[in-house]
Amino acid sequence: MTVAAPASEPLRRFLQVARGAGLKVSAAEGIDAARTVDLIGFADRAVLKDSLGLVLAKTPDEKAAYDEVFDLYFKRDEFSGGAADAEDESAGEDDTIPGGSDAAGGDGMGGQGGQSLGSLLASDDRATLATAMEQAAREAGIENIRFFTQKNLYARRILDRMGLRGLERDLEAMRQTGTPEGLGRAQFLDGRVEQLRDSVRDFVERNLLLFAKGDNEKFREELLKSARLSNLERRDLDRMRVLVRQMAKKLAARYAKTRRRRLRGQLDTRRTLRRNMGWGGIPFITVWKQKRIEKPRVLVLCDVSGSVAAMSQFLLMFVYAINEALSDIRSFAFAGSLIEVSEILEKEPVEEAITKIMSLIGFGSSNYGNSFADFEDGWMKFVTNKTTVIILGDARGNRTDPRTDVIGRLSQRSKRIIWLNPEYRSAWGTGDSDMYRYAPFCGLVTVCNTLRHLERAITDILEDAV
Protein backbone atom coordinates (compact mmCIF):
# COMPACT_ATOMS: atom_id res chain seq x y z
CA MET A 1 0.00 0.00 0.00
CA THR A 2 1.40 3.37 -1.05
CA VAL A 3 1.02 6.23 1.42
CA ALA A 4 0.76 9.71 -0.08
CA ALA A 5 3.53 12.04 0.93
CA PRO A 6 2.45 14.88 3.22
CA ALA A 7 2.31 18.46 1.97
CA SER A 8 5.73 20.10 1.82
CA GLU A 9 6.78 22.48 4.57
CA PRO A 10 6.90 25.53 2.24
CA LEU A 11 3.33 24.79 1.12
CA ARG A 12 2.14 24.35 4.71
CA ARG A 13 3.54 27.74 5.66
CA PHE A 14 2.09 29.31 2.52
CA LEU A 15 -1.39 28.01 3.37
CA GLN A 16 -0.94 29.44 6.87
CA VAL A 17 -0.16 32.93 5.59
CA ALA A 18 -2.90 32.66 2.94
CA ARG A 19 -5.49 32.01 5.64
CA GLY A 20 -4.09 34.93 7.61
CA ALA A 21 -4.55 37.14 4.53
CA GLY A 22 -8.26 36.30 4.41
CA LEU A 23 -8.44 33.30 2.06
CA LYS A 24 -10.87 30.63 3.24
CA VAL A 25 -8.83 27.50 2.61
CA SER A 26 -10.61 24.31 3.64
CA ALA A 27 -8.89 21.04 4.47
CA ALA A 28 -10.00 19.61 1.12
CA GLU A 29 -8.54 22.60 -0.71
CA GLY A 30 -5.30 22.17 1.22
CA ILE A 31 -5.12 18.55 0.01
CA ASP A 32 -5.79 19.70 -3.57
CA ALA A 33 -3.03 22.29 -3.23
CA ALA A 34 -0.59 19.58 -2.04
CA ARG A 35 -1.49 17.40 -5.01
CA THR A 36 -0.98 20.38 -7.31
CA VAL A 37 2.51 20.99 -5.91
CA ASP A 38 3.33 17.28 -6.25
CA LEU A 39 2.45 17.49 -9.93
CA ILE A 40 4.15 20.73 -10.96
CA GLY A 41 6.71 21.40 -8.20
CA PHE A 42 8.13 24.77 -7.14
CA ALA A 43 10.52 25.36 -10.03
CA ASP A 44 8.25 27.39 -12.33
CA ARG A 45 6.75 30.08 -10.08
CA ALA A 46 4.43 31.46 -12.78
CA VAL A 47 2.83 28.06 -13.36
CA LEU A 48 2.71 27.42 -9.61
CA LYS A 49 0.99 30.75 -8.97
CA ASP A 50 -1.66 30.17 -11.64
CA SER A 51 -2.28 26.56 -10.55
CA LEU A 52 -2.60 27.26 -6.82
CA GLY A 53 -4.72 30.32 -7.61
CA LEU A 54 -7.29 28.09 -9.32
CA VAL A 55 -7.44 25.88 -6.23
CA LEU A 56 -7.36 28.46 -3.42
CA ALA A 57 -8.84 31.78 -4.62
CA LYS A 58 -12.59 31.74 -5.24
CA THR A 59 -13.74 35.37 -5.26
CA PRO A 60 -12.30 38.58 -6.75
CA ASP A 61 -11.27 39.77 -3.28
CA GLU A 62 -9.58 36.45 -2.55
CA LYS A 63 -7.79 36.52 -5.91
CA ALA A 64 -6.37 39.96 -5.15
CA ALA A 65 -5.27 38.84 -1.67
CA TYR A 66 -3.81 35.64 -3.14
CA ASP A 67 -1.72 37.51 -5.72
CA GLU A 68 -0.33 39.80 -3.04
CA VAL A 69 0.53 37.07 -0.54
CA PHE A 70 1.99 34.72 -3.19
CA ASP A 71 4.36 37.36 -4.53
CA LEU A 72 5.41 38.32 -1.01
CA TYR A 73 5.87 34.75 0.22
CA PHE A 74 7.89 33.49 -2.73
CA LYS A 75 9.99 36.63 -3.05
CA ARG A 76 13.65 35.67 -2.84
CA ASP A 77 15.76 38.80 -3.40
CA GLU A 78 17.66 39.13 -0.12
CA PHE A 79 20.79 37.85 -1.88
CA SER A 80 19.79 38.81 -5.43
CA GLY A 81 22.01 40.41 -8.06
CA GLY A 82 24.79 37.91 -7.50
CA ALA A 83 26.11 37.77 -11.05
CA ALA A 84 26.18 41.49 -11.72
CA ASP A 85 27.57 42.31 -8.30
CA ALA A 86 30.24 39.66 -8.61
CA GLU A 87 31.40 41.09 -11.92
CA ASP A 88 31.60 44.57 -10.43
CA GLU A 89 33.60 43.30 -7.47
CA SER A 90 35.97 41.22 -9.58
CA ALA A 91 36.79 44.24 -11.73
CA GLY A 92 38.26 46.05 -8.76
CA GLU A 93 39.55 43.29 -6.47
CA ASP A 94 40.00 39.58 -6.02
CA ASP A 95 36.68 37.82 -5.18
CA THR A 96 38.17 36.03 -2.19
CA ILE A 97 39.27 37.05 1.23
CA PRO A 98 42.76 38.50 1.29
CA GLY A 99 45.01 35.64 2.23
CA GLY A 100 42.70 32.85 1.03
CA SER A 101 39.07 31.72 1.29
CA ASP A 102 39.74 29.46 4.27
CA ALA A 103 41.12 32.26 6.38
CA ALA A 104 37.77 32.78 8.09
CA GLY A 105 37.22 29.18 9.00
CA GLY A 106 36.93 29.15 12.78
CA ASP A 107 33.68 27.97 14.37
CA GLY A 108 31.31 30.36 12.59
CA MET A 109 29.16 27.57 11.15
CA GLY A 110 27.12 28.19 8.03
CA GLY A 111 24.94 25.14 8.40
CA GLN A 112 25.41 23.94 4.80
CA GLY A 113 27.76 21.11 3.97
CA GLY A 114 29.97 21.93 6.97
CA GLN A 115 30.96 25.30 5.54
CA SER A 116 31.48 28.12 8.01
CA LEU A 117 29.55 31.36 7.72
CA GLY A 118 32.82 33.12 7.01
CA SER A 119 33.51 30.82 4.06
CA LEU A 120 30.03 31.37 2.64
CA LEU A 121 30.41 35.12 2.91
CA ALA A 122 33.90 35.05 1.44
CA SER A 123 32.86 32.98 -1.57
CA ASP A 124 29.64 35.02 -1.93
CA ASP A 125 27.64 31.80 -2.26
CA ARG A 126 24.27 33.55 -2.25
CA ALA A 127 22.09 30.52 -2.92
CA THR A 128 23.62 28.64 0.01
CA LEU A 129 23.37 31.72 2.21
CA ALA A 130 19.68 32.08 1.38
CA THR A 131 19.09 28.40 2.19
CA ALA A 132 21.00 28.73 5.47
CA MET A 133 19.01 31.83 6.40
CA GLU A 134 15.64 30.16 5.77
CA GLN A 135 16.70 27.09 7.74
CA ALA A 136 17.84 29.29 10.63
CA ALA A 137 14.56 31.23 10.45
CA ARG A 138 12.54 28.02 10.79
CA GLU A 139 14.66 26.98 13.78
CA ALA A 140 14.11 30.44 15.30
CA GLY A 141 10.32 30.08 14.94
CA ILE A 142 9.82 32.93 12.48
CA GLU A 143 6.18 31.82 12.04
CA ASN A 144 5.48 33.12 15.54
CA ILE A 145 6.44 36.72 14.81
CA ARG A 146 3.46 39.02 15.39
CA PHE A 147 4.64 42.52 16.33
CA PHE A 148 6.89 45.14 14.78
CA THR A 149 8.91 45.33 18.00
CA GLN A 150 10.03 41.69 17.51
CA LYS A 151 11.95 42.36 14.30
CA ASN A 152 15.36 42.84 15.93
CA LEU A 153 14.82 39.86 18.24
CA TYR A 154 14.14 37.45 15.39
CA ALA A 155 16.89 38.93 13.23
CA ARG A 156 19.42 38.27 15.99
CA ARG A 157 18.13 34.72 16.53
CA ILE A 158 18.52 33.95 12.82
CA LEU A 159 22.03 35.40 12.67
CA ASP A 160 23.08 33.44 15.76
CA ARG A 161 21.83 30.19 14.23
CA MET A 162 23.71 30.97 11.02
CA GLY A 163 26.90 31.20 13.08
CA LEU A 164 27.44 34.94 13.48
CA ARG A 165 28.73 34.69 17.06
CA GLY A 166 31.49 32.32 16.01
CA LEU A 167 32.36 34.52 13.06
CA GLU A 168 32.52 37.60 15.31
CA ARG A 169 35.06 35.79 17.53
CA ASP A 170 37.10 34.91 14.44
CA LEU A 171 37.04 38.52 13.27
CA GLU A 172 38.17 39.76 16.66
CA ALA A 173 41.05 37.28 16.57
CA MET A 174 42.06 38.58 13.13
CA ARG A 175 42.11 42.14 14.41
CA GLN A 176 44.18 41.14 17.43
CA THR A 177 46.96 39.92 15.16
CA GLY A 178 47.67 43.50 14.13
CA THR A 179 49.07 42.36 10.81
CA PRO A 180 47.98 43.99 7.54
CA GLU A 181 46.84 40.59 6.32
CA GLY A 182 44.62 39.97 9.37
CA LEU A 183 43.21 43.48 9.36
CA GLY A 184 42.48 43.19 5.63
CA ARG A 185 40.61 39.93 6.14
CA ALA A 186 38.56 41.39 9.02
CA GLN A 187 37.70 44.52 7.08
CA PHE A 188 36.62 42.49 4.05
CA LEU A 189 34.33 40.24 6.11
CA ASP A 190 32.93 43.17 8.12
CA GLY A 191 31.44 44.53 4.91
CA ARG A 192 29.94 41.16 4.03
CA VAL A 193 28.51 40.76 7.55
CA GLU A 194 26.81 44.15 7.29
CA GLN A 195 25.21 43.08 4.00
CA LEU A 196 24.07 39.88 5.69
CA ARG A 197 22.48 41.85 8.52
CA ASP A 198 20.53 43.97 6.03
CA SER A 199 19.36 40.88 4.16
CA VAL A 200 18.20 39.18 7.35
CA ARG A 201 16.33 42.32 8.48
CA ASP A 202 14.52 42.46 5.13
CA PHE A 203 13.68 38.77 5.41
CA VAL A 204 12.27 39.19 8.92
CA GLU A 205 10.22 42.23 7.88
CA ARG A 206 8.70 40.33 4.98
CA ASN A 207 7.78 37.45 7.27
CA LEU A 208 6.25 39.93 9.70
CA LEU A 209 3.98 41.14 6.91
CA LEU A 210 3.11 37.55 6.02
CA PHE A 211 2.54 35.88 9.37
CA ALA A 212 1.25 38.83 11.39
CA LYS A 213 -1.18 40.21 8.81
CA GLY A 214 -4.15 38.13 9.92
CA ASP A 215 -3.56 38.73 13.63
CA ASN A 216 -2.97 42.45 13.08
CA GLU A 217 -6.20 42.74 11.10
CA LYS A 218 -8.13 40.96 13.84
CA PHE A 219 -6.52 43.16 16.50
CA ARG A 220 -7.38 46.28 14.53
CA GLU A 221 -10.95 45.12 14.01
CA GLU A 222 -11.37 44.45 17.73
CA LEU A 223 -10.14 47.96 18.48
CA LEU A 224 -12.50 49.50 15.93
CA LYS A 225 -15.48 47.53 17.22
CA SER A 226 -14.83 48.79 20.73
CA ALA A 227 -13.95 52.38 19.77
CA ARG A 228 -16.49 55.15 20.24
CA LEU A 229 -17.91 55.91 16.80
CA SER A 230 -17.61 59.65 17.25
CA ASN A 231 -13.86 59.27 17.85
CA LEU A 232 -13.10 57.39 14.64
CA GLU A 233 -10.69 58.95 12.20
CA ARG A 234 -11.60 59.36 8.56
CA ARG A 235 -9.11 56.67 7.52
CA ASP A 236 -11.02 54.15 9.67
CA LEU A 237 -14.46 54.80 8.17
CA ASP A 238 -14.04 52.54 5.15
CA ARG A 239 -12.91 49.66 7.34
CA MET A 240 -15.82 50.28 9.71
CA ARG A 241 -18.25 50.10 6.81
CA VAL A 242 -16.84 46.69 5.93
CA LEU A 243 -17.21 45.55 9.55
CA VAL A 244 -20.80 46.79 9.66
CA ARG A 245 -21.68 44.87 6.51
CA GLN A 246 -19.98 41.72 7.80
CA MET A 247 -21.74 41.95 11.14
CA ALA A 248 -25.12 42.60 9.55
CA LYS A 249 -24.66 39.75 7.10
CA LYS A 250 -23.85 37.41 9.97
CA LEU A 251 -26.99 38.42 11.87
CA ALA A 252 -29.11 38.24 8.73
CA ALA A 253 -27.91 34.72 7.97
CA ARG A 254 -28.82 33.69 11.49
CA TYR A 255 -32.29 35.20 11.65
CA ALA A 256 -33.43 35.67 8.05
CA LYS A 257 -35.42 32.44 7.85
CA THR A 258 -38.72 32.28 9.65
CA ARG A 259 -37.94 30.57 12.92
CA ARG A 260 -40.07 27.90 14.46
CA ARG A 261 -40.22 26.58 17.99
CA ARG A 262 -41.26 22.96 18.34
CA LEU A 263 -43.69 22.34 21.20
CA ARG A 264 -42.55 18.81 22.06
CA GLY A 265 -45.17 16.70 23.78
CA GLN A 266 -48.13 18.29 21.94
CA LEU A 267 -49.13 15.87 19.19
CA ASP A 268 -50.90 17.25 16.14
CA THR A 269 -53.47 14.47 15.85
CA ARG A 270 -55.12 15.64 12.65
CA ARG A 271 -51.88 15.99 10.70
CA THR A 272 -50.49 12.74 12.14
CA LEU A 273 -53.53 10.77 10.90
CA ARG A 274 -53.34 12.43 7.49
CA ARG A 275 -49.61 11.66 7.18
CA ASN A 276 -50.21 7.97 7.99
CA MET A 277 -53.21 7.28 5.76
CA GLY A 278 -51.08 4.90 3.69
CA TRP A 279 -50.57 2.65 6.73
CA GLY A 280 -54.23 2.46 7.67
CA GLY A 281 -53.96 5.28 10.17
CA ILE A 282 -51.28 3.54 12.26
CA PRO A 283 -49.07 6.41 13.47
CA PHE A 284 -45.69 5.31 12.19
CA ILE A 285 -44.87 8.98 11.54
CA THR A 286 -45.77 11.51 14.23
CA VAL A 287 -46.32 15.21 13.59
CA TRP A 288 -45.85 17.66 16.44
CA LYS A 289 -47.50 21.02 16.81
CA GLN A 290 -45.40 24.01 15.88
CA LYS A 291 -45.62 27.64 16.81
CA ARG A 292 -44.73 30.03 14.02
CA ILE A 293 -42.29 32.70 15.14
CA GLU A 294 -42.81 35.97 13.31
CA LYS A 295 -40.03 38.32 12.40
CA PRO A 296 -40.00 41.50 14.44
CA ARG A 297 -41.57 44.64 13.01
CA VAL A 298 -39.30 47.62 13.57
CA LEU A 299 -39.55 51.38 13.29
CA VAL A 300 -36.23 53.22 13.55
CA LEU A 301 -36.07 56.92 14.43
CA CYS A 302 -32.56 58.35 13.98
CA ASP A 303 -31.40 61.69 15.28
CA VAL A 304 -29.13 63.00 12.51
CA SER A 305 -28.34 66.34 14.07
CA GLY A 306 -24.74 67.44 14.26
CA SER A 307 -24.02 65.98 17.70
CA VAL A 308 -24.86 62.37 16.78
CA ALA A 309 -24.53 62.39 12.99
CA ALA A 310 -21.61 59.94 12.90
CA MET A 311 -23.44 57.39 15.02
CA SER A 312 -26.64 57.77 13.02
CA GLN A 313 -24.85 56.98 9.77
CA PHE A 314 -23.70 53.64 11.14
CA LEU A 315 -27.14 52.75 12.46
CA LEU A 316 -28.72 53.55 9.09
CA MET A 317 -26.07 51.44 7.41
CA PHE A 318 -26.72 48.57 9.81
CA VAL A 319 -30.47 48.71 9.33
CA TYR A 320 -29.93 48.81 5.57
CA ALA A 321 -27.80 45.65 5.72
CA ILE A 322 -30.13 43.57 7.93
CA ASN A 323 -33.24 44.43 5.96
CA GLU A 324 -33.63 40.75 5.05
CA ALA A 325 -33.68 39.74 8.70
CA LEU A 326 -36.38 42.18 9.72
CA SER A 327 -39.80 42.37 8.15
CA ASP A 328 -41.65 45.62 7.67
CA ILE A 329 -38.81 47.98 8.58
CA ARG A 330 -39.59 51.66 8.36
CA SER A 331 -36.81 54.14 8.92
CA PHE A 332 -37.06 57.82 9.86
CA ALA A 333 -34.50 60.59 10.26
CA PHE A 334 -34.97 63.77 12.25
CA ALA A 335 -33.23 66.87 13.49
CA GLY A 336 -35.55 69.90 13.70
CA SER A 337 -38.31 67.88 11.99
CA LEU A 338 -38.84 64.27 10.93
CA ILE A 339 -39.03 62.55 7.53
CA GLU A 340 -39.33 58.92 6.42
CA VAL A 341 -36.23 57.59 4.64
CA SER A 342 -37.27 53.96 4.03
CA GLU A 343 -37.59 54.39 0.27
CA ILE A 344 -34.18 56.04 -0.01
CA LEU A 345 -32.53 53.16 1.86
CA GLU A 346 -34.33 50.56 -0.24
CA LYS A 347 -33.67 51.98 -3.70
CA GLU A 348 -30.18 53.47 -3.53
CA PRO A 349 -26.72 52.10 -2.65
CA VAL A 350 -26.11 52.46 1.04
CA GLU A 351 -23.35 55.10 0.87
CA GLU A 352 -25.34 57.23 -1.56
CA ALA A 353 -28.51 56.76 0.47
CA ILE A 354 -26.88 57.93 3.69
CA THR A 355 -25.29 60.91 1.94
CA LYS A 356 -28.67 61.89 0.53
CA ILE A 357 -30.41 61.54 3.90
CA MET A 358 -27.80 63.66 5.63
CA SER A 359 -28.07 66.33 2.93
CA LEU A 360 -31.85 66.43 3.28
CA ILE A 361 -32.14 66.74 7.03
CA GLY A 362 -28.83 66.05 8.75
CA PHE A 363 -26.41 68.16 10.79
CA GLY A 364 -29.02 70.68 11.99
CA SER A 365 -30.15 71.59 15.52
CA SER A 366 -32.31 68.91 17.12
CA ASN A 367 -35.89 69.46 18.27
CA TYR A 368 -37.18 66.20 19.73
CA GLY A 369 -40.62 67.49 20.61
CA ASN A 370 -41.32 68.78 17.11
CA SER A 371 -39.96 65.58 15.52
CA PHE A 372 -42.08 63.31 17.73
CA ALA A 373 -45.15 65.41 16.91
CA ASP A 374 -44.39 64.95 13.19
CA PHE A 375 -44.21 61.19 13.72
CA GLU A 376 -47.52 61.10 15.59
CA ASP A 377 -49.27 63.10 12.88
CA GLY A 378 -47.99 60.99 10.00
CA TRP A 379 -47.16 57.48 11.16
CA MET A 380 -48.53 56.69 14.64
CA LYS A 381 -51.40 54.77 12.98
CA PHE A 382 -48.90 52.17 11.69
CA VAL A 383 -47.71 51.29 15.21
CA THR A 384 -49.20 48.09 16.66
CA ASN A 385 -48.57 45.91 19.67
CA LYS A 386 -46.09 43.91 17.55
CA THR A 387 -43.98 46.95 16.69
CA THR A 388 -40.60 47.62 18.26
CA VAL A 389 -39.55 51.27 18.11
CA ILE A 390 -35.84 52.10 18.17
CA ILE A 391 -34.84 55.67 18.88
CA LEU A 392 -31.24 56.71 18.48
CA GLY A 393 -30.31 60.07 19.93
CA ASP A 394 -28.79 61.97 22.80
CA ALA A 395 -32.19 63.34 23.90
CA ARG A 396 -30.87 66.89 23.79
CA GLY A 397 -33.61 69.08 22.33
CA ASN A 398 -31.96 72.47 22.88
CA ARG A 399 -34.40 73.26 25.71
CA THR A 400 -37.49 72.87 23.51
CA ASP A 401 -40.67 71.12 24.64
CA PRO A 402 -39.72 67.37 24.85
CA ARG A 403 -43.32 66.26 24.17
CA THR A 404 -43.15 63.30 26.54
CA ASP A 405 -46.91 62.93 26.02
CA VAL A 406 -46.26 61.70 22.47
CA ILE A 407 -43.71 59.16 23.72
CA GLY A 408 -46.25 58.04 26.31
CA ARG A 409 -48.87 57.33 23.64
CA LEU A 410 -46.25 55.64 21.46
CA SER A 411 -45.29 53.40 24.39
CA GLN A 412 -48.91 52.37 24.91
CA ARG A 413 -49.44 51.43 21.25
CA SER A 414 -46.11 49.66 20.61
CA LYS A 415 -44.60 46.45 21.89
CA ARG A 416 -41.71 48.37 23.39
CA ILE A 417 -39.43 51.36 22.86
CA ILE A 418 -35.67 50.91 22.83
CA TRP A 419 -33.62 54.09 23.24
CA LEU A 420 -29.97 53.96 22.22
CA ASN A 421 -28.08 56.95 23.60
CA PRO A 422 -24.53 57.65 22.35
CA GLU A 423 -23.71 59.65 25.49
CA TYR A 424 -22.35 58.15 28.68
CA ARG A 425 -24.83 57.80 31.53
CA SER A 426 -22.99 60.44 33.52
CA ALA A 427 -24.11 63.02 30.94
CA TRP A 428 -27.80 62.06 31.01
CA GLY A 429 -29.97 64.72 32.59
CA THR A 430 -27.29 67.39 32.44
CA GLY A 431 -27.73 70.65 30.54
CA ASP A 432 -30.49 70.31 27.93
CA SER A 433 -30.65 66.50 28.15
CA ASP A 434 -34.21 65.15 28.55
CA MET A 435 -33.17 61.50 28.76
CA TYR A 436 -34.59 60.94 32.22
CA ARG A 437 -37.95 62.39 31.09
CA TYR A 438 -38.18 59.88 28.25
CA ALA A 439 -36.74 56.87 30.12
CA PRO A 440 -39.94 55.88 32.04
CA PHE A 441 -41.73 55.22 28.73
CA CYS A 442 -38.98 53.00 27.30
CA GLY A 443 -38.55 49.27 27.75
CA LEU A 444 -34.80 49.63 27.41
CA VAL A 445 -32.52 52.64 27.64
CA THR A 446 -28.83 51.93 27.11
CA VAL A 447 -25.57 53.52 26.10
CA CYS A 448 -24.77 52.79 22.44
CA ASN A 449 -21.68 54.45 21.04
CA THR A 450 -19.62 51.54 19.67
CA LEU A 451 -20.16 48.92 17.03
CA ARG A 452 -20.34 46.25 19.73
CA HIS A 453 -23.12 48.14 21.51
CA LEU A 454 -24.99 48.41 18.23
CA GLU A 455 -24.61 44.71 17.47
CA ARG A 456 -25.82 43.76 20.93
CA ALA A 457 -28.88 45.98 20.67
CA ILE A 458 -29.92 44.62 17.26
CA THR A 459 -29.29 41.04 18.42
CA ASP A 460 -31.58 41.57 21.42
CA ILE A 461 -34.33 42.80 19.10
CA LEU A 462 -33.98 39.77 16.85
CA GLU A 463 -33.85 37.28 19.68
CA ASP A 464 -36.90 38.85 21.25
CA ALA A 465 -38.90 37.32 18.42
CA VAL A 466 -37.77 33.77 19.21
**345 and 437 in a common domain:** yes
Query: Strand pairing of 288-292 and 297-303?
Result: unpaired
Instruction: Please indicate, yes or no, if residue 239 is contained in any of the structural domains.
Output: no
Among 57, 73, 89, where does a domain finish? 73
Burial of 44 by CB count in 10 Å (0-12 exposed, 13-18 middle, 19+ buried)? exposed
The residue range of the domain holding 50 is 9-73
Length of the chain: 466
CA distance 163 to 448: 57
Q: What is the signed CA dihedral for 404, 409, 413, 416, rounded to 10 degrees?
A: 20
Residues 132 and 48 in one domain: no
Residue 195 is assigned to a structural domain of this protein: yes
Per-residue pLDDT at 95: 43
Pairing outcome for strands 387-392 and 338-340: unpaired
- Per-residue pLDDT tens digits of the chain, which is 466 residues long: 333 334 477 788 788 778 777 788 888 888 888 888 888 888 888 888 888 888 888 888 788 878 877 887 777 655 554 433 434 443 334 444 444 444 444 444 444 445 788 888 888 888 888 888 888 888 888 878 877 788 889 899 999 999 988 888 888 888 888 788 878 888 888 888 888 888 888 888 877 777 766 666 666 677 777 777 766 666 666 777 777 777 776 766 666 554 444 445 677 788 888 888 878 777 778 877 766 555 558 888 989 888 777 677 777 776 676 665 555 678 899 999 999 988 888 888 777 888 888 888 888 889 999 999 999 999 999 999 988 898 988 999 999 999 999 999 999 999 999 998 988 898 999 999 999 999 999 999 988 888 888 778 777 766 665 4
Q: What pLDDT does 338 receive?
A: 94
pLDDT in the model for residue 375: 95
pLDDT at 149: 80
Task: Name residue 416's beta-bridge partners.
Answer: 388
Q: Are residues 60 and 148 in the same domain?
A: no
Give CA separation, 277 vs 2, 229, 269, 274, in Å: 55, 61, 12, 5
* Spatial separation of the C-alpha atoms in residues 461 and 388, rounded to whole Å: 8
CB 267 within 8 A of CB 286: yes
> Do the Cβ atoms of 356 and 387 come closer than 8 Å?
no
68 and 172 in one domain? no
CATH number of the domain within which 431 lies: 3.40.50.410
Are both 196 and 65 inside the same structural domain?
A: no
Q: Are 110 and 132 in contact (CB under 8 A)?
A: yes
CB atoms within 10 A of CB 334: 27
Q: Domain for residue 87, yes or no?
A: no
With respect to residue 190, please indicate whether it lies within any of the assigned structural domains.
Answer: yes
Last residue of a domain, one of 29, 58, 73: 73
Q: Please check whether residues 65 and 104 belong to one and the same domain.
A: no
Q: For the chain, how many structural domains are there in total? A: 3
The answer as to whether 235 is a domain residue is no
SS3 content of the chain, % helix, strand, coil (to 5): 60, 10, 25
In a shared domain, residues 306 and 454:
yes
Residue type, 293: I
pLDDT for position 326: 59
Q: What does the longest C-alpha to C-alpha distance in the chain come to?
A: 111
Judge whether 434 lies within some domain: yes
**Predicted pLDDT of residue 379:** 94
23 and 144 in a single domain? The answer is no
Q: Is residue 176 part of a domain?
A: yes
Residue 110 is assigned to a structural domain of this protein = yes
Q: Which of 238, 418, 224, 425 is nearest to 313 (CA)?
A: 238
Q: Assess whether 67 and 102 both reside in one domain.
A: no
- CA 388/CA 414 separation, integer angstroms: 6
- Is 131 in the same domain as 60? no
Alpha-carbon distance of 320 to 393, in angstroms, equals 18
46 and 129 in a single domain? The answer is no
Question: Do 132 and 36 share a structural domain?
Answer: no
